[in-house]
Amino acid sequence: MDIRPNLREVVAVSDFVRPARLFLSAFLSLVLSTALVPPAFAAEPAAPSPEEPEIPSVDKGLSAERVLSDMEALEANADYEPGTLLALIDGDAEVASADVTLKELAGAGGSLAGGAESIDQAGRCSLSPASAGDAGDPGVLAGIEPVAAGDWLGGLVLARVPVPEGMGTGEAASLLAQDDRVVDFSLGYVCSPEYVSEGAEVEVATGDPIYGELDKQWHLAHAAVPGAWSYMQNPDGTRAQGGVTVAVIDSGCDLDHPDLVGNLDLANAYDAVAGGPLEGDVLAGYADDAEDGGEGIASHGTHVCGIVGAQTGNGIGTAGVSYDARILPINAIDPASGRTAPGAIEAAFDYLFGLIDSGEDSIRVVNISLGSRNAMPTVAALLGRALDEYGLTVVASAGNGASSAAHYPSDYEQCISVVCANTEGRKDPNSNYGPGTDVSAPGCYVWSTVDGGGYGYKTGTSMAAAVVSGVAALLYTMDPSATPQQVRDAVVGGAEPLPEPEETAAGMVSAADAMELLLFGVDYDDVGTEEWYVTGGYFTYVARAGIMRGYSGTSSFGPYLDVTRAEFATVLYRMANPGSGATTDPSLYEDDETGFSDAVGGEYYTAALNWAKREGIMTGDASSGYTTVRPNDSLSRQEAAVMSQRFAGALGADTSVANMSTPDLLDWDDVASWARDA
């Protein structure tokens, strides 16, 4: 039995390796040259960023050609906004309609204090291209709307540029190419919610009992969520609380839903499209699928929020996967189109970065149940910042196109890309799949909250991603010091293979196995999460404290095997000397100092036996004249009691026994006289 020191040995199963199929536009070339994305995207190491980044030189004529080329290629693809361009503008450029600069609008230091709201308070601004000519020239582009200006943009401002009425997109792009203040630009790429309309069963549910209603909340059982909850119990009977916040970038949320309101971060809920406080789910009442009798896109954000963080154990509705995580809803959807507004995801992250910089350090997970077939290079840049500098785990839906083709933002390597699985544990036919995906999760007919205080079913990778976000929040709750890489390794490494490996290697998420990998470094195959030693918090305590781990080189803990004398000595030694390195520091275990004829040096137990003999905890066998200790023999319960009493005494406890009476035990007469006091 290897009772190892308190060192996490999380199994590495992913090195963030993805197929090299990212579409790199001039936007990405731009942010690469300003060292805004991690080396995983760069062809060569990026130079250190200066305090004032130089604005790189970009051939904007090629950018204009790219806009036209993209338009032609995307005519059959609805994932862009024809009437809007996205532009990166020099942060020091003067704004024509106001006596301020865009950098000043962004706030001191070029970082948004509170996100795009600061820009909105200063008023929208306009940009007059250098070639515009007379004031009445129709070439003047008005209504420029800055959406992000955080320092992740290296002193630039990301803005939406509406194409004026009567002007073609290509003509507008040509005008932008002639303006010195415009650094680069592209089409206004957008994302759509990742759902498949289902016949909704909308009702006010009366029960939250998770173990009694797992038929309705089947996704909890299939993702082994109750098993992960078992590990969150402390030995003193309290439940582990992590103070973890999950940001849900979606369509907002029903802020008054009785099953959500207790877990919502209402103070920071934000509308990245309107640039102000969130007022609710912007798709409330949206009925594009009403002919099916389905909820369709309506309530999309509310449904996702409920999967992640509906209040658990409150006796109503449904139980959120995360159990008690805070939910920060952020709207990125334009209610007029039912899709994200161009630049809204960037604006949402810009806001999150500002919150974290201001001290909101509980934000650990970001859920994006939105997607597109189009690459979004500025999103790729901010994802690098989110991972490397803000330590955020970003979970994204893989898409519902029944395809292995590229999909964004889920295909960016900084995301955990989630496939939708059905009730049979197989990939849903509508789900995307392939080498760009990381893990599968239940996503078909998932029961969750909808607008108006009700509940209903929805299907899609949106729902599957929300399950994984909830699992990630559970992991951070139990180990607040975990890194995004460790959480990713645990989620992906703990997944169970799907029956269709030829289509996807993204196994079914197991919250319980992920918890074991993160906490213990081992996915135990003989530990039942419903067992008393788990639900009581004892297993988690001894494993995390490095007191007991399992058998070296195996996935077995051996919960019902006998403990040997040497193993028990090691348990006591670990309790008295946490983090001692007894099996890693040769100076501690190289030489046996006990004098027992059957104890040897260089064993896992040597340091513990040396210590136990020195402290009078193990004195040897009386039958051998105290010359042997039988280290590999099983330890009887009465022997364990004696060693425990001596251990307590060695730590200074009063182990004397006063007014000892005979216990009412049927086998008390079998207890040896030398063990009765103990």
Interacting residues of 272 by C-beta distance below 8 A, sequence separation 6+: 115, 116, 147, 249, 330, 331, 332, 341, 344, 345, 347, 348, 351
Phi-psi region of 89 (alpha: psi -120 to 50; beta: other; left: phi over 0): beta
Phi and psi, residue 73, nearest 5° = -75, -25
CA distance 252 to 600: 65
Strands 339-340 and 192-193, by their bridges, are unpaired
Question: Which of helix, strand or coil describes residue 387?
Answer: helix
Phi and psi, residue 221, nearest 5° = -65, -45
CA distance 328 to 304: 12
For residue 559, with 0-12 CB atoms within 10 Å meaning exposed, 13-18 middle and 19 or more buried, which class applies?
A: middle
Specify whether the CB–CB gap between 458 and 298 falls below 8 A.
no
CA distance 160 to 148: 10
CA distance 409 to 427: 20
Question: Which of helix, strand or coil describes residue 27?
Answer: helix
User: Which residues are marked as active site?
Assistant: 250, 300, 462
Q: How many residues does the chain have?
A: 678
Beta-carbon neighbour count of residue 430 at 10 Å? 20
Question: Which of helix, strand or coil describes residue 487?
Answer: helix
Per DSSP, 237 falls in state S
Q: Which tokens hold the place of 198? A: 């289902």
